[in-house]
Structure 1
């Protein structure tokens, strides 16, 4: 048995890591101490999707020695009172953000923060509008949602694990790629994952009726091999999504519709908040850019300013 090997982290529990080797074996690994001492601001120095090199110790346990450079990753602030970051996953071809309009309702600000982070780290996103069987009872809300996000440049797929709507379209997206599936607790991520790939062993929880919020069912991110040849990364339900390492002056760069409008602004360094001749504000007032998206932008500027120093 080769002592040294390379592979991809498919599960990270904080102290132990499952690594899938190039031969397709899974090796339980721990982290070499000095990896923790390189000034990594993240709460988790090794994450699902990382390509690593490791070596087996005398007991055959893998020891991760090196993390290869990441192509991209999705990161969020670890908590509302923290400057530390938490990387959800790395080396992703696409993110699927599962949102729901009913039972529970996904907040627009959460959606927009996730999208901003994906834009900043060059991860393409497709929005999955879940529980389409429930959403069908309010077609106006669905049409309004799709107008906002398709207008911003994001594909939106209506999906339902009950009716099977959108499932084949998602399977086509997943073929041969590494895809992250994310969303708030309770939106049906684990159920959807099991519908996309029958037999996938993902734990499923229930909605707490008293709060209409999902109980956490997935504790750690896990990468699952798909029969199509790709991989699906199932993530823990995310309550909040704080931005980190995004400069205030750059924030609007991560709103695609604002990037399209900005060249028409009177001032090249327009912040799109108070300047005269701002094409972004004019578009919002004319209904050409969604107010909810602009409101999210203003909130991010205001609420996250203290974290960017």
Structure 2
């Protein structure tokens, strides 16, 4: 009678070595003691334009151990490899130095993922047109909150001031006077350059990042401040009233009198999902002083009982009420994302 089932023995089993991961991976990373310090001036599809401290422009890639999105314009980094800057040469970014500031945003108020935009900037230059396209004060408010979160100073540049009356230009700037936001107006007319020096005085010797929605004249401003920048400029769509995107990536440019200006792509939204709503009021210094008198745990919303902001706004000016309205719209938008 034949055996119906094979009798297995150890000799019948072939043990194949586990090639993947068979060799323990070391957690030690090279120290890169010979790394060269540099500044990231542009990021484009996995390639990083960096300027070494010796003044050599170098193209680099990112080391594998650095996570995605870990390097942004303005970062101080350490690079190894070919740092000669010769055509076709390629270095490698192996380390990001500690940042002083980091400007961040999320895609919208429902997106919890924050995205670094620019590192180590001293001030945020908020560029908004007074006309063509129409100004968007609530977008300016969002930029102000982001600047506070990043620990940056602010400067408001009002472009195309020649398209509105002097009273209208002054009125828009007055909205932010209570926040001690400095404001400079520029003119759209050809041949008008007297404002260039006025803006430059606030930028010289500093690292400034320009933000604004499309069509406000950021690239025109950069070309006036840095004549050899050659940033592409565009107009406003006559149907939508919105600006056309002309800059596709952030780029850092040296200013003739010292310092850096970082131009960023125009945006149509600026999410604040990464900012704690409880910190919003601190970005509005005029409101924060009043809110200190609110009951403990006050949300500062319109429905909040005994909120000190309500009687303050009622007794104040139209500008005061506009500030409170803008602040509460931000709170409503951000808290809806957490619902």
SS of the aligned residue for 1:127 comes to strand
Matches within 5 A, 1:133-212: 133-135=162-164, 138-162=165-189, 163-212=192-241
> 1:301 deviation in Å?
1.8
Q: Return the match for 2:244 from 200, 204, 215.
A: 215
The equivalent of 2:137 in structure 1 is 108
- Report which stretch shifted further, 105-114 or 56-65: 56-65
Superposed CA deviations along residues 235-272 of structure 1, whole A, max 9, x for unmatched, are: 1001111103222222212211112222333x243322
Structure 2 runs not aligned, ≥5 long: 1-32
TM-score by length of 1: 0.89
Report the CA distance shift for 1:32/1:254 in structure 2 as closer, same or farther (over 3 A): same
Cα RMSD, aligned residues only: 2.2
> 1:306 deviation in Å?
4.7
C-alpha distance in structure 2 between counterparts of 1:62 and 1:257, whole Å: 49
SS of the aligned residue for 1:113 comes to helix
C-alpha distance in structure 2 between counterparts of 1:19 and 1:206, whole Å: 31
Superposed CA deviations along residues 8-56 of structure 1, whole A, max 9, x for unmatched, are: 100012411100100111111111122116xxxxxx3211000001111
The equivalent of 2:95 in structure 1 is 66
Report the CA distance shift for 1:78/1:4 in structure 2 as closer, same or farther (over 3 A): same
Q: In 1, are the aligned partners of 2:109 and 2:333 still within 8 Å (CA)?
A: no
- Report which stretch shifted further, 201-210 or 44-53: 201-210
The equivalent of 1:51 in structure 2 is 76
SS of the aligned residue for 2:233 comes to coil
SS of the aligned residue for 2:66 comes to helix
C-alpha distance in structure 1 between counterparts of 2:218 and 2:271, whole Å: 21
C-alpha distance in structure 2 between counterparts of 1:210 and 1:30, whole Å: 41
C-alpha distance in structure 1 between counterparts of 2:166 and 2:188, whole Å: 18
> 1:290 deviation in Å?
2.6
C-alpha distance in structure 1 between counterparts of 2:126 and 2:152, whole Å: 12
> 1:116 deviation in Å?
0.5
Q: Return the match for 1:89 from 118, 124, 129.
A: 118
Q: Return the match for 1:298 from 328, 332, 337.
A: 328
Report the CA distance shift for 1:308/1:254 in structure 2 as closer, same or farther (over 3 A): farther
Q: In 1, are the aligned partners of 2:123 and 2:152 still within 8 Å (CA)?
A: yes
Bigger Cα Rg: 2
Q: Return the match for 1:121 from 150, 162, 165.
A: 150
Q: Return the match for 2:56 from 25, 30, 37.
A: 25
Q: In 1, are the aligned partners of 2:108 and 2:272 still within 8 Å (CA)?
A: no
The equivalent of 1:41 in structure 2 is none
C-alpha distance in structure 1 between counterparts of 2:337 and 2:95, whole Å: 30
C-alpha distance in structure 2 between counterparts of 1:102 and 1:143, whole Å: 14
C-alpha distance in structure 1 between counterparts of 2:34 and 2:244, whole Å: 41
The equivalent of 1:40 in structure 2 is none
1:270 is the counterpart of 2:301: no
C-alpha distance in structure 2 between counterparts of 1:307 and 1:275, whole Å: 19
TM-score by length of 2: 0.82
Report the CA distance shift for 1:189/1:50 in structure 2 as closer, same or farther (over 3 A): same
Report the CA distance shift for 1:45/1:14 in structure 2 as closer, same or farther (over 3 A): farther
Matches within 5 A, 1:253-268: 253-265=282-294, 267-268=295-296
Q: In 2, are the aligned partners of 1:272 and 1:278 still within 8 Å (CA)?
A: yes
Q: In 2, are the aligned partners of 1:153 and 1:257 still within 8 Å (CA)?
A: no
Q: In 2, are the aligned partners of 1:160 and 1:167 still within 8 Å (CA)?
A: no
